Structure 1
Amino acid sequence: MKTNPDKDTELHDKINRETGRVKWRELDRHFASGSVIYVSQALDLIEVALRVAHDDKASILAWMQAGTVAKVSDQQAQAWTDSDATVWASVVSPFVLVQAEKTALH
C-alpha cells in the first residue's frame, strides 16, 4: 500500500466508487460488533476512509479528539433506528464508516 494518502488517487477512487447510501437497519450486525464508526458531516467521508485505510493515526486521533470521528453511540444508533434513517457508508475493513445524510438548506 502507498504510504502517502494525499497521493493515493487509485485508492481514493476505489473508496469513492464503493461508498453508498444504506439503511441504518442493514448495519445492525456491524454495530453490534462495535465496528461502525461515525463521521461528522463536517468531514469528507471519502477522505476519512482513505486516512483510515492508510492507518493515518495523527489525523484519526485529531478527529477523535475533536469529536468528529467516533464509534457510533447507542443513542445515535437508536435515533437512526427510530427514524428509519439512511446513512452514507464506506467499508474500510474491519470498520464501516457512516455519515448521516446531509439535509438540504431551505
Structure 2
Amino acid sequence: MKTDPLKDTELHDKINQETARVRWSELERHFAHGAVVWVSEELDLVEAAMRIAHDDKATIARWMADGKIAKVSDVQAQSWQAADVQLWASVVSPFVLVQPEKRKLH
C-alpha cells in the first residue's frame, strides 16, 4: 500500500524551502529542454511538486486531463518572455514546476 505523499513532512519542508520566485528569463534554457511544467493557480505548487516527487501517477494524470498541469507551451513561453514575468518555481528533477504569482485582489 502506498503512503500518502502529502504526509512526507521532511520532503514538504525541503520543497517549501527550495521554492523561489524566478524570472522567466532564468528558466528559458530549461524550457528549451522541455523540462518546464506549468501548474495552475488552482493547485498548491508544493503539493504538485510532492506528488511528482512521489510519482503519484493517478493524481498527475487527473490534473493533466483537467488542464491543471502541463508542459509550458510555446505561446505561454513567448508571452512570459515578452514581459519577463516572475514565477514561483520548484525543482523536482528533471522538471522545473512553475506557477504565476497569484494576483492580489484590490
Aligned identity (percent) is: 67
Match of 1:31 in 2: 31
Residue 56 (1) aligns with residue 56 (2): yes
Match of 1:89 in 2: 89
Matched positions, count: 105
- Residue by residue over 1:67-91, the C-alpha shift from the partner in whole angstroms, topping out at 9 and shown as x without a partner, is 0000000000110011110000000
- Residue by residue over 1:42-81, the C-alpha shift from the partner in whole angstroms, topping out at 9 and shown as x without a partner, is 0000000000000000000000000000000000011001
- 1:6 deviation in Å? 2.3
Structure 1 residue runs of 4 or more that deviate by more than 3 Å after TM superposition: none
Match of 2:9 in 1: 9
State the Cα RMSD in Å: 1.1
Q: 1:20 & 1:89 partners in 2: Cα distance?
A: 5
- 1:3 deviation in Å? 4.3
